Amino acid sequence: MKPAGSRKEWHDEGMTSAAVTSSSWTSEDIPSQVGRTIVITGANSGLGFASATALAHRGALVVMACRDPKRGLDALDCVRDAATDAEPLLLKLDLADLDSVQAAAKELAELVDRVDVLMNNAGVMALPLRRTAQGHEMQFGTNHLGHYAFTGRLLPLLLAAPDPRVVTTSSQMHRLGKMAWADLDWNERRYQRWPAYGQSKLANLQFAYELARRAHNMGSSLKSVAAHPGYASTGLQQAGPTMAGRRITARIMNLGNRIAGQEASSGALPQLFAATSKEARSGAYYGPDGLGQMRGAPTEVTSSAAARSRDEAHRLWNLSEEMTGFAYEWNAQNTSASG
């Protein structure tokens, strides 16, 4: 492992030169991924499925980490049809159950010898109050805690790769989020589904930035990059209202998708750029370059002051260790994690 001082200084978001942008970047610009192993959470639908299809088409060994085996198998067949080199694999993963996260990481270590890219893509949005297997609020538990633990448990496989990346999907809704440190799990407050979603998406960004800082401080080549899709029509918007029995709201969300949303294949471009482009920087955040970052080609974008707060990110990391019972460990060879 190189000492931290031997590497080019890492800068926080917003402290670098002009943002990276490409007004014409599409999935056709993804370089060959032959020989690379890419794990995608939530790969059976939406942005995850679009990413899996595009990356398999460029030759990657795509590991589709999915909660529902049946839906995962259906998606696997489609991704297999798109693959041009390695056969895609299916991995059972329920991010709302930390025991499942541990089991999935163990199974993956038996299937592959390294992970070049981990795409933390899966998520739930604006659900009625639900709890994970360990009792955490479902959106915070799934969107953040599950990915925190999964990333840490895959750290040995990531550090075995020559140029590893972790791509974490956030949302413009992070700007409405606020970390309620005394009650992250909504045990004391009256539950509000949209503020809860915003908190989880803010946590995604704080995690991505803190992971980039920690990797840099350890002299690791691991890149941690964040992305958001803009307004992508993925079906995620209707899930919460449907679960709550709000049919009219679900129909309104569906109509909004048709009018304002872009296809999942377009919404996936920022995270694909973050995962594959040589221009993507560790500690950067990518989203669409169009009006209001709703749609368009990938470009480097800004995030809220709360997302960029080092103190908040450090506090979240420590609490995540406590809430999951898992601590990252970077050893001298840069090859292990324990918890």
- pTM (2 decimals)? 0.85
As a whole number of Å, the end-to-end CA separation of the chain is: 22
Query: Is residue 294 one of the residues assigned to a domain?
Result: yes
C-alpha 285/C-alpha 205 separation (Å) is: 8
- Phi, psi dihedrals of residue 227, rounded to the nearest 5°: -155, 160
> Annotated active-site positions, please?
197
Query: Is residue 338 one of the residues assigned to a domain?
Result: no
Query: Is residue 91 one of the residues assigned to a domain?
Result: yes
Query: Is residue 68 one of the residues assigned to a domain?
Result: yes
- Tell me, what's the pLDDT at 292? 81
The CATH number covering residue 179 comes to 3.40.50.720
The number of C-alpha atoms within 13 Å of 237 and in the hemisphere containing its C-beta is 22
Query: Is residue 2 one of the residues assigned to a domain?
Result: no
Domains in the chain, number = 1
Query: Is residue 295 one of the residues assigned to a domain?
Result: yes
- Tell me, what's the pLDDT at 14? 38
Residue 162's Cβ-count burial label (10 Å; 0-12, 13-18, 19+) is: exposed
C-alpha 272/C-alpha 298 separation (Å) is: 9
C-alpha 196/C-alpha 199 separation (Å) is: 5
C-alpha 273/C-alpha 275 separation (Å) is: 5
Domain span including residue 258: 35-324
CB neighbours (10 Å) of residue 252?
14
pLDDT along the chain (339 residues), means of 10: 33 41 80 98 96 98 96 96 97 98 98 98 95 98 98 97 97 96 96 97 98 96 96 53 50 46 83 97 95 86 97 98 95 43
Query: Is residue 333 one of the residues assigned to a domain?
Result: no
Q: In what order do the strands lie in the sheet containing 37-41?
A: 89-92, 61-66, 37-41, 117-120, 165-169, 223-227, 285-288, 298-300
Query: Is residue 335 one of the residues assigned to a domain?
Result: no
